[in-house]
Amino acid sequence: MIEIYQLKYFLAVVETGSFTKAAERVYVTQPTLSAGIKKLESNLDVRLFDRSSRRVFLTENGTRFVERAKGVLHQLNLAEAAMKTGDTPKLLRLGILLTIPSQRIQQILHPFQRQESGLVTELFEGSEQEILNRMDEGRIDLALTILRPGLKGKTTSLYHEPYSLAIASHHPLANAAAIDPTELANEPTIVRSRCEVLSETSRFFTDHNVRPRLVYHTAQDERALAMVAAGVGFTTMPGHYRMPGVTRVPMKGYDFTREIGFIQSRHPASEEKSALLGRFITLTKSSLPDMAYEEITT
């Protein structure tokens, strides 16, 4: 018989693309997760994943099973949400993109938490795909993330921001109006592994025949910014990231931008939940002038 935990293990591997990361996601050891996946495959009498030394790929059967697994968990989550709603009428389940600065999230959440008496906010942070998967499963009501063409669900645009260089304020290039990528040849660089334009950034430097020296690789954006302030190296990141000791400078020809906004779940919601989401979105949009930042232009 298929167990709920096996479906959660399976979807965690699908979302993360790794047995190790999936185990961390569901708070079990990798051997425990692997045993659960093996038992699920045995129950279904099919192989769900092709495993290699470095990557995990869905088989054809695994691909077909994804939507089935999501559907089962969606129904379970609806049942759990219904029970929670009975005790907590004001429940907001919000997905937050990992690469949105903590200060920005605090500025968005604080006014609504003060306005809505009795509000309980459940937060999930993850990558774009992880958040969309959660939404498909009915596990979040609203996502604060990057808006791209073709997204499912109702979207509300909040702001656009450019990507630019983050460089130590004491660095000789910090006072430049704009930096040519060739000036960064052999400069130590910090790679943000969660960056949405990581591959594009790599191609950008390659196209300019520039190969900065990699000195630090991290999934924590605030940590990356702190290391920039310490003078460890430079990085590229969205414009809202600020810290004393760090100067934001545009890079010539580096014209990437992103649009941040809300995506609402396509799953039916009660009148009370729809009204709650509407008030949150409206208040957030009205508070945006207070969250303005100095645009970096090239």
CATH assignment at residue 102: 3.40.190.10
Q: Using the 3D structure, point to which of 13, 38, 71 is the last residue of a domain.
A: 71
* pLDDT confidence band for 77 (50 / 70 / 90): confident
Comparing 152-161, 231-240, 256-265, 288-297, the range with the smallest average pLDDT is: 288-297
* pLDDT confidence band for 292 (50 / 70 / 90): very low
Q: Residue 80 domain-assigned?
A: no
* pLDDT confidence band for 270 (50 / 70 / 90): confident
Report the alpha-carbon distance of residue 37 to residue 102 in Å, rounded. 35
Buried b (16+ CB within 10 A) or exposed e, 143-169: bbbbbeeebeeebbebbebbbbbbbbe
Domain count, the chain: 3
Q: Using the 3D structure, point to which of 28, 46, 71 is the last residue of a domain.
A: 71
Q: Residue 81 domain-assigned?
A: no
Could you tell me if 192 and 121 lie in one domain?
no
Across residues 31-51, what is the average pLDDT?
Answer: 92
Per-residue pLDDT of 162-218, as tens digits, reads: 999 999 999 999 999 999 999 999 899 999 999 999 999 999 999 999 999 999 999
Q: Residue 65 domain-assigned?
A: yes
Residues 6+ apart with CB under 8 A from 104: 240, 291
pLDDT of residue 246: 98
Q: Residue 184 domain-assigned?
A: yes
* pLDDT confidence band for 266 (50 / 70 / 90): confident
Sign for the pseudo-dihedral over CA of 98, 146, 106, 191:
positive
Could you tell me if 103 and 175 lie in one domain?
no
| pTM given for the model | 0.73
CATH number at residue 50: 1.10.10.10
- Choose between 16 and 296: higher pLDDT: 16
Could you tell me if 249 and 194 lie in one domain?
yes
As given in the structure block, the two tokens for residue 242 are 């600020």
Residue 297 pLDDT greater than 50, yes or no: no
Q: Residue 17 domain-assigned?
A: yes
- Choose between 267 and 174: higher pLDDT: 174
Could you tell me if 263 and 251 lie in one domain?
no
Domain span holding position 26:
4-71
Could you tell me if 268 and 142 lie in one domain?
yes
Q: Residue 78 domain-assigned?
A: no
Residue 84 pLDDT greater than 80, yes or no: no
* pLDDT confidence band for 81 (50 / 70 / 90): low
Could you tell me if 10 and 147 lie in one domain?
no
pLDDT of residue 86: 52
The answer to whether residues 267 and 274 touch, using CB atoms and an 8 Å cutoff, is no
Could you tell me if 143 and 283 lie in one domain?
yes
* pLDDT confidence band for 76 (50 / 70 / 90): confident
pLDDT of residue 242: 94
Could you tell me if 171 and 153 lie in one domain?
no
Could you tell me if 148 and 268 lie in one domain?
yes
pLDDT of residue 85: 53
Backbone torsion region of residue 219, taken as left when φ is above 0, otherwise alpha when ψ lies between -120 and 50, otherwise beta: alpha
Could you tell me if 147 and 267 lie in one domain?
yes
pLDDT of residue 79: 73
pLDDT of residue 295: 38
Backbone torsion region of residue 253, taken as left when φ is above 0, otherwise alpha when ψ lies between -120 and 50, otherwise beta: left
Q: Residue 83 domain-assigned?
A: no
Comparing 76-85, 155-164, 202-211, the range with the smallest average pLDDT is: 76-85
Residue 89 pLDDT greater than 80, yes or no: no
* pLDDT confidence band for 67 (50 / 70 / 90): confident
Residue 293 pLDDT greater than 50, yes or no: no
Per-residue pLDDT of 274-290, as tens digits, reads: 999 999 999 999 887 65
Q: Residue 284 domain-assigned?
A: yes
Could you tell me if 63 and 34 lie in one domain?
yes
Q: 157: helix, coil or strand? A: strand
Could you tell me if 116 and 236 lie in one domain?
no
Report the alpha-carbon distance of residue 131 to residue 179 in Å, rounded. 34
Residue closest to 114 by CA, chosen among 288, 280, 271:
280
